[in-house]
Chains A and B, each alone.
Chain A
Amino acid sequence: MRTILTTAFAALVAASGALAEGFPDKAMTYIIPFNAGGESDVSARYQQSEWEAVTGQQVVIQYQPGAGGAQAWSQLNSLPGDGYTVMGINMPHTVLQPLAGSVGYKTEDLTPVHYFHYTPNAIFVTKDSEYQTLADLLDYAKANPGMVTFAGSGSNSANNLAAVQLNAAADVITTYVPFSGTGPSITAILGGQTTAGFNYATSGVAQGDALRMLAVAAEERMPAFPDVPTFKELGFDIVGGAYRGVAVPASASEETRQAVSDIVSKINAQPGFVEKMESGGFVLTDIGYDKMDAFVAERVEEYTAGAKALGIIK
């Protein structure tokens, strides 16, 4: 009797395993909570070109921009939780937005299953700028409080946070000027409208020689920019940027969450994908569903401190 039960149980486990392996058996939808052309879109397009090879199914990318992503995130849990609809998710956005005001969702309502990369913050000046190093820029900022202007993407964003962190770490006063995205803020730097910019390292690739990167907020030097020092090397403990991942609605089962996480992990290991991402200035991370709780908790702690510095919370 016992053996029969065990066999039946094993068969059941095998059957449910087979079910998970059958996922996905139709095209999936991948919602990007931003407009096309940003880092979230580009990295998702890179994933899309590998998606079919990894899963056997296509993925359709849709854009649902609005309110810096909050529009889409606040609707995530009303979507079906069968795993066929997934959504891009970003940090620090999903931590800072609920702290800043009522945006229709809370950080803990969202279910990220994989954070697959981040784009480190970096300081840029134009190639003709008189500032050759971060030290040059900071010396000027010390001598002229407030005069150094940084163009960046959005208020209460990763860029804004980095600018505030730099002010505290280097004991200077600079002015952060928010623009409506990476594109407009890079335009402002290239056009000499601001002294410098706090943007993502990816812009360094896109703009090539037109911009000079003074420092990058990564743990170690990036393969795409071997000559650019990290803030850490220069004595400032600033590491960070925007983390991007994939989330599912809260109604998704544990198996579904794991299955989506596995798909993203597998794509992260495709050589073609790695090559495109790294040469594009993205830093790959492999934070799967099993490591998610610890990762989110750590970030929430860091960004809550950041929110105080930004003046979002007292």
Chain B
Amino acid sequence: MDILGYLLDAMTPFNLMLALVGVILGTIIGALPGLSATMAVAVLVPFTFTMDPAGGLIALGAIYTGAIYGGAYAAILVNTPGTPSAIATTFDGFPMAKRGDGGLAISLATLASVAGGIVGALALLMLAPPLARVALAFGPTEYFWLAMFGLTLIAALSVGNTVKGLIGACIGLFLSMVGVAVVGGDVRYTMDMQRFLAGVDLTSAIIGLYCVPVILDLVASPDPHLSPSATGGLRVMEGARHALSRWGNLLRSSVIGTVIGILPGAGGSIAGLVSYSEARRTAKRPETFGKGNPDGVIATEAANNATVGGGFIPTLVLGIPGTPPDAIIMGALLVQGIKIGPTLFTTDGNVVYTFIWGLLIATLLMLPVGLLIGRYAYGFIIKVPKTLLAPTVALLTIIGAFAIHSNVADAQLMVGLGVIAWVLNRYGFQPSPIVLGLVLGSIAEQGFVQTYLIGNATGRLPEMFFSRPISIGIIIAALVTLLFPIWADWKAKRRAQMSEPVADEGTTIAPEIKTRDLPSIGFAVAFIALGAVIWTGASGMSMLGSVFPKTIGAALAVFSGLLVIQHLRRPAAEPKPRQRDAGAIRRIALGAVMLAWVFVMPLVGFLVTSFAAFAAIMLIADYDRPPLRRWLIWGLTGLLICSGFWWLMANVLLLRMPAGLLF
């Protein structure tokens, strides 16, 4: 076997070192929300020009796979996906960490990521040319239905609260339409503001929607951020036993991840969501998902790391990159004079196979590296006092949102969306359906319009939508996912009628009070108005550009109307004595500081505002009133953290930092 021979080429000390350094760097970058693999890979490409091609590729591939894995840390520990691929990791990872199982969650994420990464890389090694055909079999129709399938997850994520989930999805879909449309070319819903031209950035939106509410809750009470764990540590052996007993889940999720990775433009976030959805559907007790079920973490993390190997398949075989990091790595190959395409595996087999082995080695290295970094990250989050944790996480959200495009507007949008998300969440509109809508919106829209154009031109519109074999498969899967929770709900109710109700342990989503809720009605009325605005705003657009906005505007109004009716039919609630929320003042102060931070930053400068805001948040988050000496130490730490990140961004990632009047 020639292929095995290349394994030795990949195992030179230099290549091993590149893989190790790449994985470490990637994991850290992935763990910081907003700093992405794309960014790191783009900066490092020139260094590979002078390197041996395989070595350079191994370094880039190791960073990429490490970053996809690293995204899990932030998802588990602070409820913020470090990369969009880790969106579904937050669903169960954070509840696990909350109740003291954060170490276990990290172990499981590590093991699942390694397993998924291996499956993806093996598929790349052995089956790349035939699997590349999967990418070609997926036409616009299949992308459309895949997005619809992803949206059905809302039904599962918002059981008992479906109407609000659907409204959230419509809001997310609306946000995905902002900016210049790919199909039709219309400039939509930008309110003539330049900042909205490129649309709502997914990464800054998920940082805002998921992380800002966490910080707001963090300062609102003196309780620790995560429950202290009974044993400390990562509980690796327990994790390994659990992961092994779920080998079916691991394998299924890895295969889903590999296949979705092959589809250009779908990516790790959709792979994670789909395999999460499948894991939930096949579970014995699906109602525990979203409340800290370890299988949710396993499914997502196995799938998203499998997309790395999967994504290289169309990149190397067809020259069609699956994800932005793939695209940059493809560019690096082209500069090296290596012709991408079907013949690559024979003409430049030495480079390609050495690279794939290197990717496999890097994936295996994630196990020790991840467990080591995970141990420190978990220990840090548990031990660090709130007074330092809150401002550090706040700083990271702002850095992350800014770093994506070196643009303060993204950070402003992030904070704004975050505050809105917290308010909405308080009234039962959860952030996940909004994120789902935002992730899937453009894929759904493009798929729909393209299918419509092709179907209409060839006069077989219904066939295009409903009679393509792969589409039918996806539609069936979507229907099952959609109807399954309803059926499970019905079954659970029957069971409950027969036996005594069982207390639900560790519930994070409060069961909805089935009485009339005036704020909900108020929000619904506002959303009906928004729906009307979306509809009328679409009237000036081209035919292609207006189909989707009109549909979404109408759907938003209908669902909101349903919500109003639902609430009017319920009995009026007993007037509750007004409770004063002790944390409210701190929350409001924090929200104000973060808003001031992002709006003053371009005027005064990044460092000055960060120092000031860091100090302010320390005061807001403090409950212990420590002695002056400790304040000094904390202050100094804050100074170091702010300057350190500034240095990293300005000098390593070469971002243009807002300088303003001062610095």
Query: A residues near B, CB below 8 A?
Result: 29, 35-38, 41-42, 45-46, 48-49, 58, 60-68, 70-71, 74, 79, 85, 97, 100-104, 146-149, 154-156, 175, 177-180, 183-184, 186-188, 190-194, 206-210, 276, 280, 311-312
- Asked whether, in the complex, the Cβ of A48 is within 8 Å of the Cβ of B335, the reply is yes
Interface set, chain B 427-481, CB cutoff 8 A to A: 442, 446, 450, 453-454, 456-459
- Asked whether, in the complex, the Cβ of B318 is within 8 Å of the Cβ of A67, the reply is no
- Asked whether, in the complex, the Cβ of B197 is within 8 Å of the Cβ of A184, the reply is no
Since A147-B458, A207-B318, A208-B342 are in contact, a sample of 16 more A-B pairs with Cβ atoms closer than 8 Å, ordered by chain A residue number, is A35-B327, A37-B324, A41-B327, A46-B334, A61-B45, A64-B405, A67-B179, A70-B198, A101-B186, A178-B184, A178-B185, A179-B182, A190-B318, A191-B139, A206-B341, A210-B342
How many angstroms between the C-alpha atoms of A41 and B38 in the bound complex?
A: 13
Partner of B136, one of A60, A71, A102, A191: A191
How many angstroms between the C-alpha atoms of A85 and B265 in the bound complex?
A: 30
- Asked whether, in the complex, the Cβ of A36 is within 8 Å of the Cβ of B454, the reply is no
- Asked whether, in the complex, the Cβ of A175 is within 8 Å of the Cβ of B331, the reply is no
- Asked whether, in the complex, the Cβ of B318 is within 8 Å of the Cβ of A60, the reply is no
Minimum CB–CB distance for A41 against chain B, Å: 6
How many angstroms between the C-alpha atoms of A191 and B324 in the bound complex?
A: 22
B57 beta carbon closer than 8 Å to chain A: no
- Asked whether, in the complex, the Cβ of A207 is within 8 Å of the Cβ of B181, the reply is no
Minimum CB–CB distance for A244 against chain B, Å: 15
How many angstroms between the C-alpha atoms of A48 and B327 in the bound complex?
A: 16
Partner of B321, one of A103, A180, A183, A192: A183
Query: B residues near A, CB below 8 A?
Result: 38, 42-43, 45-46, 49, 135-140, 179-187, 190, 192, 194, 197-199, 264-265, 314, 318-321, 324-328, 330-332, 334-335, 337, 340-343, 405-406, 442, 446, 450, 453-454, 456-459, 542, 544, 654, 656
Contact status of A41 and B331, CB under 8 A, knowing A62-B654, A191-B136: yes
Q: Mind listing 26 A-B residue pairs with CB under 8 Å?
A: A29-B654, A35-B327, A36-B38, A37-B324, A37-B328, A66-B198, A67-B180, A68-B182, A68-B185, A70-B180, A74-B197, A103-B180, A147-B458, A155-B184, A175-B453, A178-B185, A179-B182, A180-B265, A180-B446, A186-B320, A187-B136, A188-B140, A188-B450, A190-B136, A191-B136, A206-B341
B456: which A residues are within 8 A, CB to CB? 175
Contact status of A66 and B199, CB under 8 A, knowing A35-B324, A208-B341: yes
Partner of B49, one of A49, A149, A210: A49
B335: which A residues are within 8 A, CB to CB? 45-46, 48-49, 276
A100: which B residues are within 8 A, CB to CB? 185, 187
What residue in chain A is nearest B141 (Cβ atoms)?
A: A193
Partner of A64, one of B138, B183, B406: B406
What residue in chain B is nearest A279 (Cβ atoms)?
A: B339
B185: which A residues are within 8 A, CB to CB? 68, 100, 154-156, 178, 312
How many angstroms between the C-alpha atoms of A188 and B328 in the bound complex?
A: 22
- Asked whether, in the complex, the Cβ of A66 is within 8 Å of the Cβ of B405, the reply is yes
How many angstroms between the C-alpha atoms of A177 and B194 in the bound complex?
A: 27
A206: which B residues are within 8 A, CB to CB? 319, 340-341
How many angstroms between the C-alpha atoms of A178 and B449 in the bound complex?
A: 9
B139, B179, B457 — most chain A CB neighbours (10 Å): B457
How many angstroms between the C-alpha atoms of A275 and B135 in the bound complex?
A: 31
How many angstroms between the C-alpha atoms of A67 and B189 in the bound complex?
A: 13
What residue in chain A is nearest B322 (Cβ atoms)?
A: A183
- Asked whether, in the complex, the Cβ of B192 is within 8 Å of the Cβ of A102, the reply is yes
A42: which B residues are within 8 A, CB to CB? 331, 334
Contact status of A45 and B331, CB under 8 A, knowing A154-B182, A175-B457: yes
- Asked whether, in the complex, the Cβ of A60 is within 8 Å of the Cβ of B197, the reply is no
B187: which A residues are within 8 A, CB to CB? 100-103
- Asked whether, in the complex, the Cβ of A66 is within 8 Å of the Cβ of B179, the reply is yes
Minimum CB–CB distance for B179 against chain A, Å: 6
Minimum CB–CB distance for A282 against chain B, Å: 12
Minimum CB–CB distance for B157 against chain A, Å: 27
- Asked whether, in the complex, the Cβ of B454 is within 8 Å of the Cβ of A177, the reply is yes
- Asked whether, in the complex, the Cβ of A184 is within 8 Å of the Cβ of B331, the reply is no
Contact status of A191 and B197, CB under 8 A, knowing A64-B406, A175-B457: no
Contact status of A155 and B544, CB under 8 A, knowing A177-B450, A191-B139: yes
Contact status of A62 and B45, CB under 8 A, knowing A48-B335, A193-B139: no
B326: which A residues are within 8 A, CB to CB? 37
Contact status of A37 and B184, CB under 8 A, knowing A183-B320, A187-B320, A208-B343: no
How many angstroms between the C-alpha atoms of A311 and B542 in the bound complex?
A: 10
B192, B265, B327 — most chain A CB neighbours (10 Å): B327
Partner of B458, one of A60, A62, A149, A280: A149
- Asked whether, in the complex, the Cβ of A175 is within 8 Å of the Cβ of B654, the reply is no
- Asked whether, in the complex, the Cβ of B264 is within 8 Å of the Cβ of A184, the reply is yes
- Asked whether, in the complex, the Cβ of B42 is within 8 Å of the Cβ of A62, the reply is yes
- Asked whether, in the complex, the Cβ of A207 is within 8 Å of the Cβ of B136, the reply is no
How many angstroms between the C-alpha atoms of A193 and B42 in the bound complex?
A: 32
B342: which A residues are within 8 A, CB to CB? 208-210
What residue in chain B is nearest A310 (Cβ atoms)?
A: B185
How many angstroms between the C-alpha atoms of A186 and B332 in the bound complex?
A: 21
Partner of A36, one of B135, B265, B327: B327
B136: which A residues are within 8 A, CB to CB? 187, 190-192
- Asked whether, in the complex, the Cβ of B183 is within 8 Å of the Cβ of A207, the reply is no
B180: which A residues are within 8 A, CB to CB? 67-68, 70, 97, 101, 103
How many angstroms between the C-alpha atoms of A177 and B449 in the bound complex?
A: 9
How many angstroms between the C-alpha atoms of A66 and B192 in the bound complex?
A: 16
Minimum CB–CB distance for A65 against chain B, Å: 7
Partner of A67, one of B197, B321, B330: B197
How many angstroms between the C-alpha atoms of A60 and B450 in the bound complex?
A: 37
What residue in chain B is nearest A208 (Cβ atoms)?
A: B341
Contact status of A104 and B321, CB under 8 A, knowing A41-B331, A45-B45, A191-B139: no
What residue in chain B is nearest A275 (Cβ atoms)?
A: B337
Q: Which 5 A-B pairs have the closest CB atoms?
A: A37-B327, A66-B198, A155-B185, A191-B136, A175-B457
How many angstroms between the C-alpha atoms of A154 and B654 in the bound complex?
A: 30
Minimum CB–CB distance for A230 against chain B, Å: 24
How many angstroms between the C-alpha atoms of A312 and B184 in the bound complex?
A: 10
How many angstroms between the C-alpha atoms of A48 and B336 in the bound complex?
A: 12
How many angstroms between the C-alpha atoms of A68 and B181 in the bound complex?
A: 9
- Asked whether, in the complex, the Cβ of B454 is within 8 Å of the Cβ of A194, the reply is yes
- Asked whether, in the complex, the Cβ of A63 is within 8 Å of the Cβ of B38, the reply is yes
- Asked whether, in the complex, the Cβ of B135 is within 8 Å of the Cβ of A187, the reply is yes
A193: which B residues are within 8 A, CB to CB? 139-140, 454
How many angstroms between the C-alpha atoms of A79 and B654 in the bound complex?
A: 15
Minimum CB–CB distance for A175 against chain B, Å: 4
How many angstroms between the C-alpha atoms of A194 and B334 in the bound complex?
A: 28
How many angstroms between the C-alpha atoms of A201 and B140 in the bound complex?
A: 23
How many angstroms between the C-alpha atoms of A190 and B136 in the bound complex?
A: 6
- Asked whether, in the complex, the Cβ of A71 is within 8 Å of the Cβ of B405, the reply is yes
B656: which A residues are within 8 A, CB to CB? 79, 85
How many angstroms between the C-alpha atoms of A60 and B337 in the bound complex?
A: 20
- Asked whether, in the complex, the Cβ of A37 is within 8 Å of the Cβ of B321, the reply is yes
Minimum CB–CB distance for B175 against chain A, Å: 15
- Asked whether, in the complex, the Cβ of A146 is within 8 Å of the Cβ of B197, the reply is no
- Asked whether, in the complex, the Cβ of B197 is within 8 Å of the Cβ of A70, the reply is yes
How many angstroms between the C-alpha atoms of A133 and B318 in the bound complex?
A: 24
Minimum CB–CB distance for B331 against chain A, Å: 5
Minimum CB–CB distance for A113 against chain B, Å: 20
What residue in chain A is nearest B190 (Cβ atoms)?
A: A102
- Asked whether, in the complex, the Cβ of A36 is within 8 Å of the Cβ of B324, the reply is yes
A97: which B residues are within 8 A, CB to CB? 180
B330: which A residues are within 8 A, CB to CB? 37
A62: which B residues are within 8 A, CB to CB? 42, 406, 654
B43: which A residues are within 8 A, CB to CB? 60
Minimum CB–CB distance for B450 against chain A, Å: 5
- Asked whether, in the complex, the Cβ of B454 is within 8 Å of the Cβ of A175, the reply is yes
B184: which A residues are within 8 A, CB to CB? 155, 178
How many angstroms between the C-alpha atoms of A100 and B541 in the bound complex?
A: 11
B199: which A residues are within 8 A, CB to CB? 66-67
B182: which A residues are within 8 A, CB to CB? 68, 154-155, 178-180
